[in-house]
Amino acid sequence: MNELAVELNRALEGTVVAALFSDFGRRIYFPKGIVAQSAEAGKQAHRLNATIGIATSAGQAMHLAAIRDRFLGLTPNEIFAYAPTAGAPALREAWKKEMLDKNPALGGKLFSLPTVVAGLTHGIAVAAELFAGKGDAVLMPDMCWDNYRLIFEDRLQCRVQTFPFYTGSGGLAVDALRAGLEGLGTARAVVLLNFPNNPTGYSPSPAEARAILEALAGRARAGQKILALFDDAYFGLFYEEGVHRQSLFADAADLHENLLAVKVDGPTKENLVWGFRVGFLTFAGKALTERHHEALGQKVMGAIRATVSNCSQPAQSLMLQAMRDPGYAAQKQEAFGVLAARYRRARALAARAPAVMRALPFNSGYFMTFELAKGSAERLRQLLLQEYGVGTIALGDRHLRVAYSSVDEDRLEELYTTIFQAAQKLAR
């Protein structure tokens, strides 16, 4: 094992981070190589800097005007130069401030400066490889994004275990989460929660959020070392009053010494920049200090350096510029209003579903899901696509996901009416 990895492991010794590390997590480190030496030179080489492998002219990155002219308000270095491995410092600070504004429960709590990752999928993958490996159990709800299995099962060879997302009455099955954790004994455990949920579009009520946190705390008190991974891809898109409006990360940040909370979020959905591929990875734990966060941050940087090296500089620069724009908050609120109107219309239409299908509870995000009383979701998807020219997503045998976010409000009735017609035709 590299001596730098040994030093980082020593710095984290005795913490829940060290107890949760996968073999890769223990081995990885950020090398004192080209990137580290170039960063040092960037601060101290006041005469000439011959470190980083880019071409410059008069201190700015060389570039083609055909590309430069497509950007307004950014310097060449803000467009063309490499970004720091952990992300642009100003953007990281701006996202941390916004995270505090959106999650007052984080006030006064110690958590890491968000690290920039190449989209939320990359953030989940980095957290996964640091803390999960071959044969490790990863607990998640049965209603979940299909890419989780690709990351944990197929890429890392973990054992994905699921628990029912809903109770029989339609609420969140917190008892099933608790039972799933108990089933793992007191061994280390990874639990992944995603709210608003993809594919259901459901977020917990305040009471359900408290119950989730108590379930995690109870297992941590029992000695279980827990990595609580919160996928907040659709954070903020809450359309009902009776929804918990802060990330569970905010309360989990200092829940118990045996729990490490990880927040994966970003502007992808919140700021309508799906193709930017910019996300953030943030850590917190009750007994962790700044020194621990720094050591863990070096591990994260090593994982980034070993894969994508660094994340998109122009995307980060544009995001920072947007966040500083006086119209930023108002524009976000306007976009939220459009999505909220689509949600309300979709909710009214989904209530008209025929007896052959029912809408699962939803209150937030981009999606809702139908459960079929009979028939195959894949056959329904194919029928909708081939005979009606309508695209939907089949999940397993019985569930059909509908992204109402991607359909204009004035065409939602057409969408839902077509789905109902196809489902009834298939059921005959």
Question: Given this model, what pLDDT does residue 198 score?
Answer: 96
| pTM of this structure | 0.93
Domains of the chain by residue range: 3-30+85-323, 328-427
52 has a pLDDT exceeding 90: no
DSSP symbols for 276-342? G--EEEEEEETT--HHHHHHHHHHHHHHHHTTTSS--HHHHHHHHHHHTSTTHHHHHHHHHHHHHHH
Confidence bin at 169 (pLDDT 50/70/90): confident
Q: Which residue has the tokens 């492991």?
A: 9
413 has a pLDDT exceeding 80: yes
Structural class in CATH, domain 328-427: alpha beta
> What is the share, in percent, of the chain residues with pLDDT greater than 70?
95
Please give the structure tokens belonging to residue 263: 């927040």
Question: Given this model, what pLDDT does residue 56 score?
Answer: 77
pLDDT 10s digits, 172-218? 999 999 999 999 887 889 999 999 999 999 999 999 999 999 999 99
Return d(Cα 297, Cα 29) in angstroms, integer: 9
The 10 Å Cβ neighbour count of residue 410 is 8
Question: Given this model, what pLDDT does residue 65 score?
Answer: 86
> What is the share, in percent, of the chain residues with pLDDT greater than 90?
84
Burial letters for 45-71: b for 16+ Cβ neighbours within 10 Å, e otherwise?
Answer: eeeeeeeeeeeeeeeebebeeeeeeeb
318 has a pLDDT exceeding 80: yes
Question: Given this model, what pLDDT does residue 187 score?
Answer: 82
Domain 3-30+85-323 has CATH 3.40.640.10: yes
Integer CA distances (angstroms), 80 to 20, 71, 307, in order: 38, 11, 20
pLDDT 10s digits, 222-245? 999 999 999 999 999 999 999 999
Q: How many angstroms separate the first and last alpha carbons of the chain?
A: 64
Question: Given this model, what pLDDT does residue 374 score?
Answer: 83
